[in-house]
Amino acid sequence: MTTVGILGGGQLARMLALSGAPLGLRFLVLDATVDACAAQFVPSLQADYRDEAGLAEFAARVDVATFDFENVPAESARWLAERVPVFPSPRALAVAQDRLAEKTLFRELGIDVPEFTDITSRADLDRAVAAQGVPAILKTRRLGYDGKGQFRLRTLADVDAAWDALGAQAASVGLILEAFIPFEREVSVLAVRARDGEFRTWPLTENWHESGILSASLAPASLPSSLVVEAIGHARRIAEALDYVGVFALELFVSGGRLLANEMAPRVHNSGHWTIEGSETSQFENHLRAVLGLPLGSTRMIGHACMLNWIGDLPSPLPVLAEACGHWHDYGKSARAGRKVGHATLRADTRDALASALRSTGDALGRSAQVAPVLARLAES
Ligand code: AMP
């Protein structure tokens, strides 16, 4: 009996455990909170990621460890890796945790990124804004997610407000100033790399965000094949450079017909939730196969899929369940503003069938605005 340990007990851990059950796997999650949603049906340990006694018990009870949360302290991941196999490696985790290290690596690999500057002081920010210009985004280097730890500078007059908002974090988590990209699209490459180096990707996904949080994903993204090839090549180079094992997502902007890399997530990713019903092997199952050294499953897509995120609270599941191709995911969390509490995936054999299911579901749920950009894309030839 193999037990997979997961650091972090959120919905990603929950969906990993659900996908691992048919493989006969056992799981143990480690999470500091009392109400981690994976712990509703996965054995769990409640301990801080820095609690050595908790980590030691975790290490003793699992055969391999992985992450549902990328901001696990790198030193805890390293400590664990001395006792039990950890995938992705603590080094890959450390790079992906730090926007500066990540963008520097992308650049070294010949992957274009938005112009960026490391900011350690107010004087740095003044110099960088003068050199780079506005609009720009000031971001924390570490611990930012879902649009948190970001401040958008629209004019030069915003520098004071940006520093007031984030300057105090310059010493603790570091800051980076990025050029604001007026992108046409946001896409992600979901990729998996096995322990033996085998590399696969799912069809590219187009993503829409609301207030920095993913709102909807559509797969396959309709992009020129040259950009698809380039995006997959970027993901492969990153995976090989980091000797990466497991699933990761590479988020890219399409701007002026070019790709610019935004960031990578060293774990299964929200933009890949559609793979549960929309592909031969889901991102969750392939992540488990990769970290366990099992053969990878096919990433072939089945038709077309759209995932809608439920942020803050859940709408009624009935309109989704009433669709022949509708799938409902309730994470078992209490409602809270800005919190991901569930998602739905609509899958169909053709773009037209997906558009029609999406339109009726969006109307019935009172979420027409959320589905509108996806419908607009599906209406393009
Ligand atoms: P992040 O946490 O970096 O993924 O940012 C969350 C979202 O904010 C992205 O998915 C984009 O929609 C937006 N965003 C982040 N960085 C930029 C940028 N440099 N230019 C334009 N939009 C951005």
**What mean pLDDT do residues 276-303 have?**
98
Q: Whose CA is nearest to atom 11 of ligand 1?
A: 212
Please identify, among 66, 86, 106, the residue that sits at the C-terminal boundary of a domain.
Answer: 86
Burial class of residue 126, CB neighbours in 10 A (0-12, 13-18, 19+): middle
Model confidence band, residue 144 (pLDDT cutoffs 50, 70, 90): confident
Cα–Cα distance between 52 and 32 in angstroms, integer? 13
**pLDDT, tens digit, for every residue of 258-285?**
999 999 999 999 999 999 999 999 999 9
**What mean pLDDT do residues 87-99 have?**
97
What's the pLDDT score for residue 189?
98
Cα–Cα distance between 363 and 62 in angstroms, integer? 46
What's the pLDDT score for residue 23?
98
Burial class of residue 127, CB neighbours in 10 A (0-12, 13-18, 19+): middle
Cα–Cα distance between 173 and 139 in angstroms, integer? 10
Please check whether residues 214 and 325 belong to one and the same domain.
Answer: yes
Ligand 1 centroid – CA 23 distance (Å): 36
| pLDDT score of 147 more than 80 | no
| pLDDT score of 148 more than 90 | no
Question: Domain range spanning residue 253?
Answer: 185-378
| pLDDT score of 254 more than 80 | yes
Tally of structural domains, the chain: 3
| pLDDT score of 192 more than 80 | yes
Taken in order 86, 88, 94, 97, the sign of the CA dihedral is negative
| pLDDT score of 82 more than 90 | yes
DSSP secondary structure letter of residue 323 = S
99 domain-assigned: no
Model confidence band, residue 89 (pLDDT cutoffs 50, 70, 90): very high
Q: Could you tell me the two tokens for 130? A: 């003068």
Ligand 1: nearest atom to the Cα of 137: 19
Model confidence band, residue 377 (pLDDT cutoffs 50, 70, 90): very high
Please check whether residues 171 and 189 belong to one and the same domain.
Answer: no
**pLDDT, tens digit, for every residue of 200-215?**
999 999 999 999 899 9
Please check whether residues 175 and 191 belong to one and the same domain.
Answer: no
Cα–Cα distance between 315 and 149 in angstroms, integer? 28
**What mean pLDDT do residues 109-123 have?**
97
Ligand 1 centroid – CA 353 distance (Å): 31
Fill in the amino acid letter for 13: A
Please check whether residues 190 and 163 belong to one and the same domain.
Answer: no
| pLDDT score of 90 more than 90 | yes
**Which of the listed residues 137, 142, 311 should we mutate to test ligand 1's pocket, taking the one with most ligand atoms within 8 A of CB?**
137
Please check whether residues 192 and 315 belong to one and the same domain.
Answer: yes
Please check whether residues 173 and 31 belong to one and the same domain.
Answer: no
Ligand 1: nearest atom to the Cα of 262: 3
107 domain-assigned: no
Q: Could you tell me the two tokens for 12? A: 């990603």
Which of 29-43, 136-150, 162-176, 360-374 has the least mean pLDDT? 136-150
Q: What is the mean pLDDT of the chain?
A: 96
| pLDDT score of 145 more than 90 | no
Ligand 1 centroid – CA 116 distance (Å): 13
Q: Going by C-beta distance under 8 Å and a sequence separation of 6 or more, which residues neighbour residue 345?
A: 273, 274, 276, 277, 278, 305, 306, 307, 308, 326, 327, 329
Please check whether residues 259 and 330 belong to one and the same domain.
Answer: yes
Please identify, among 151, 179, 207, the residue that sits at the C-terminal boundary of a domain.
Answer: 179
Helix (H) or strand (E) holding 17: helix 11-20
| Residues in contact with ligand 1 (CB, 6 Å cut-off) | 114, 137, 144, 147, 178, 180-181, 186, 209, 212, 251, 262-263
Ligand 1 centroid – CA 212 distance (Å): 7
- What's the CATH number where 170 sits? 3.30.1490.20
- What's the CATH number where 12 sits? 3.40.50.20
102 domain-assigned: no
Ligand 1 centroid – CA 253 distance (Å): 9
**Which of the listed residues 262, 269, 311 should we mutate to test ligand 1's pocket, taking the one with most ligand atoms within 8 A of CB?**
262
| pLDDT score of 365 more than 90 | yes
92 domain-assigned: no
User: Considering the chain, what percentage of its residues have pLDDT values greater than 90?
Assistant: 96
Spatial strand order in the sheet of 64-67: 44-46, 26-31, 3-7, 64-67
Q: Whose CA is nearest to atom 9 of ligand 1?
A: 212
Please check whether residues 144 and 261 belong to one and the same domain.
Answer: no
What's the pLDDT score for residue 381?
65
What's the pLDDT score for residue 380?
95
**pLDDT, tens digit, for every residue of 308-359?**
999 999 999 999 999 999 999 999 999 999 999 999 999 999 999 999 999 9
Please check whether residues 29 and 59 belong to one and the same domain.
Answer: yes
16 domain-assigned: yes
Q: Could you tell me the two tokens for 3? A: 């037990």
Please check whether residues 300 and 349 belong to one and the same domain.
Answer: yes
Q: Are 5 and 56 in contact (CB under 8 A)?
A: no
Ligand 1: nearest atom to the Cα of 136: 19
Model confidence, pTM? 0.97
Please identify, among 71, 86, 101, the residue that sits at the C-terminal boundary of a domain.
Answer: 86
Measured in degrees and rounded to the nearest 5, phi and psi for residue 242 equal -95, 0
What's the pLDDT score for residue 143?
87
What's the pLDDT score for residue 146?
67
